[in-house]
């Protein structure tokens, strides 16, 4: 008996210690402002979704406290005590219609509290707002057709295994894995997939919408403040699904216009000898079959990301590799290392990716370290 009671005491102590450690962890380990958190909304859609979520949290918390409390109380109150008669026969009551119907009505009322804001937010997120100020002609100074000026900035999001293409049809530019949008403006995203189903998820700006092949999905987003945002594909899309990330830069109007101006330019001609060697290697080593570089007349491939301004991107390999230094700007040294690593070891960094593949399977492209350095040097001029 002694042993049992000691064991019991030890068990209780261990349990309490574990519980307090757990609670401590909860306090210290839970930040809601992490990089990809949906609990830190920075745009009206994410905010509406967050508010709705909080409504459901409060309603269910209320049910949790009342029903859970009732359960605990009942279990405690009607437990069999050690001195109770084993054969005690409780009252064999088997129901009370009034109580049952009352509780049903109460639960329906609680659901109505959730249903009303749900429908409101639903309509809000599904309808492109008629925001005059967001129309392209109202704020973008560059050349636009009349039709484009009257519409909202549109971005065609194309999902590939396992990277993203962002095309700005009104502005005539295409970029990859980094969605750049102006702050405070409504942006319409046309979501298309080239192969399997993907899902566009930028938690701080908006919840996800799927990119389904054969289906024309769209969503609208708006970002309230400039910043660097983190997003990810949220639908299982094959072996490297975990590496299908993307980043979003929200810029002020001026910065955005400058960015667009910059992106519209073709890639500069390779003037330096080492860079020209890299350009040649880029063609010789079959990179051109899949990648487009505007300004390089050989690089016209469409299977891989557009590399026209690859060096202006803050990340590499669909967001896995960060090119930024501590100050948040691109660190050229880091970028060089990343590019080298990626070209040299892409199968290791992102297993299953389609670099060095053609329709027949894995291609063997002999690349010496020196070759890679030259290609990197060439790519780094594309900023």
Partner 1 sequence: MNAHALSLESLIKEEAKRYHAFINLAFILAILTSTEIVIIFLPFASWLIVTSLVVLSLVKFFCVILWFMHLIYDRILLFLLFMSGLLIAVGTVIALMFLFSPNDLDRSLFSFNTLSMFFNSFCFVA
Partner 2 sequence: MAVSTHAPVADKRLLPPSKSLIGLIRPDTSTGLVDWLTTVDHKKIGIMYGGFALFFFLLGGIEALLIRLQLMYPGGTVVSAQTYNQLFTMHGTTMVFLAVMPLNAAFFNFVMPLQIGARDVAFPRLNALGLWAFVAGALILNLSWLFQWAQVFGWFTPVSGQMDIVPAIGWFGYAPITGKNYSGIGTDFWIFGLQVLGVASLVGSFNFITTIINMRAPGMTMMRLPLFTWMTLITSFLIIFAFPAITIALVELMFDRFFGTNFYHVEMGGQPILWQHLFWIFGHPEVYILILPTMGIVSEILPTFARKPLFGYPMVVFSGAVIGFLGFAVWSHHMFTTGLGVVATAAFSLLTMAIAVPTGVKILNWIGTLWGGHIRFSVPMVFALGFIWMFMMGGFSGIMHSAAPADAQQQDSYFVVAHFHYVLIGGALLAILGGLYFWVPKIFGRMMSEKVGYIAASAIIIGFNVAFFPMHYLGLTGMPRRTHTYLAGFGWETWNFVATIGAFVLGIGVLMVIIDLIRTVASGKPCGSDPWDARTLEWSLPSPVPAYNFAHNPVIPGRDAWWLHKYGKKPEQEIEYEKTGPEGIHMPSQSWWPLVSSVGLLVVGVAMALHSAGVPYCGYVAIGGLGLSVVSFFLWALEGPGGYHLTPPDDGDEPQKVLASYTPEPSQKLELTH
> Tokens in use for 221?
């987003």
Residues 258-297 that bind partner 2 (CB under 8 A): none
Nearer to partner 2, 186 or 281 (CB): 186
Place of tokens 């129309």: 135
> Tokens in use for 208?
């996800």
Nearer to partner 2, 71 or 302 (CB): 71
Selection from 284, 313, 312 nearest residue 299 by Cα: 284
Query: How many Å apart are CA 262 and CA 175, to the nearest integer?
Result: 12
Nearer to partner 2, 53 or 298 (CB): 53
Residues at the contact surface with partner 1, assessed by CB under 8 A: 192, 194, 213-217
Q: Does 30 bind partner 2 (CB under 8 A)?
A: yes
CB of 69 to partner 2, least distance (A): 10
Stretch that binds partner 2, among 93-101, 257-265, 277-285, 334-342 (CB under 8 A): 93-101
CB of 321 to partner 2, least distance (A): 10
CA distances from 383 to 145, 154, 321, 330, 364 (A): 27, 24, 17, 11, 29
Q: Which does 192 bind (CB under 5 to 8 A by kind): partner 1, partner 2, none?
A: partner 1
CB of 93 to partner 2, least distance (A): 7
Q: Does 203 bind partner 2 (CB under 8 A)?
A: yes
Nearer to partner 2, 31 or 297 (CB): 31
Residues 149-168 that bind partner 2 (CB under 8 A): 161
Selection from 208, 358, 378 nearest residue 298 by Cα: 378
CB of 157 to partner 1, least distance (A): 12
- Residue 59: phi and psi, rounded to 5, are -65, -45
Query: How many Å apart are CA 232 and CA 163, to the nearest integer?
Result: 10
Q: Does 367 bind partner 2 (CB under 8 A)?
A: no
Number of residues that bind partner 2 (CB under 8 A): 101
Please tell me the total number of residues recorded for the chain in this structure. 383
Nearer to partner 2, 37 or 380 (CB): 37
Per-residue interface string for the shown chain with partner 2, residues 313-352, x marking contact by CB under 8 A: -------x------------------------------xx
Q: Does 355 bind partner 2 (CB under 8 A)?
A: no
The CA-to-CA distance between both ends of the chain, in Å, stands at 77
Q: Which does 356 bind (CB under 5 to 8 A by kind): partner 1, partner 2, none?
A: none
User: What 3 state SS string does 250-295 have?
Assistant: EECHHHHHHHHHHHHCCCCCCCCHHHHHHHHHHHHCCHHHCCECCC
Q: Does 55 bind partner 2 (CB under 8 A)?
A: yes
Nearer to partner 2, 217 or 381 (CB): 217
Going by C-beta distance under 8 Å and a sequence separation of 6 or more, which residues neighbour residue 24?
A: none
151, burial (CB in 10 Å: exposed 0-12, middle 13-18, buried 19+): middle
């Amino acid at each position: 008996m002694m042993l049992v009671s000691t064991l019991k005491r030890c068990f209780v102590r261990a349990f309490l210690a574990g519980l307090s450690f757990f609670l401590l962890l909860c306090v210290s380990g839970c930040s809601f402002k992490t990089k990809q958190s949906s609990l830190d909304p920075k745009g009206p859609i994410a905010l509406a979704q967050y508010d709705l979520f909080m409504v459901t949290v409060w309603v269910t918390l209320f049910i949790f406290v009342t029903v859970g409390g009732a359960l605990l109380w009942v279990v405690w109150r009607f437990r069999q005590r050690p001195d109770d008669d084993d054969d005690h026969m409780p009252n064999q009551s088997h129901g009370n219609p009034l109580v049952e119907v009352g509780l049903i009505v109460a639960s329906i009322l609680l659901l109505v509290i959730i249903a009303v804001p749900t429908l409101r937010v639903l309509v809000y997120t599904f309808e492109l707002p008629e925001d005059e100020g967001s129309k392209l002609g109202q704020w973008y100074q560059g050349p636009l057709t009349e039709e484009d000026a009257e519409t909202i900035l549109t971005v065609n999001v194309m999902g590939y295994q396992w990277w993203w293409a962002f095309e700005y049809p009104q502005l005539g530019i295409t970029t990859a894995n980094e969605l750049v949008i102006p702050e405070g403006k409504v942006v319409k995203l046309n979501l298309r997939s080239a192969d399997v189903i993907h899902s566009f998820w930028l938690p701080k700006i908006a919840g996800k919408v799927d990119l389904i092949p054969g289906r024309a999905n769209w969503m609208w987003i708006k970002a309230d403040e400039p910043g660097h945002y983190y997003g990810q594909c949220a639908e299982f899309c094959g072996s490297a699904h975990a590496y299908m990330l993307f980043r979003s830069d929200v810029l002020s109007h001026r910065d955005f216009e400058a960015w667009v101006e910059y992106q519209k330019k073709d890639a500069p001609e390779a003037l330096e000898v080492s860079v020209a060697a890299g350009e040649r290697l880029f063609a010789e080593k079959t990179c051109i079959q899949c990648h487009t570089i505007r300004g390089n007349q050989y690089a016209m491939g469409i299977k891989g990301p557009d590399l026209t301004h690859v060096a202006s991107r803050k990340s590499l390999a669909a967001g896995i590799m960060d090119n930024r230094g501590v100050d948040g700007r691109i660190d050229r040294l880091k970028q060089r290392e990343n590019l080298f690593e990626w070209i040299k070891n892409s199968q290791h960094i992102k297993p299953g990716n389609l670099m060095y593949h053609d329709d027949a399977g894995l291609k063997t492209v002999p690349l010496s370290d020196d070759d890679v350095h030259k290609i990197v040097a060439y790519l780094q001029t594309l900023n």
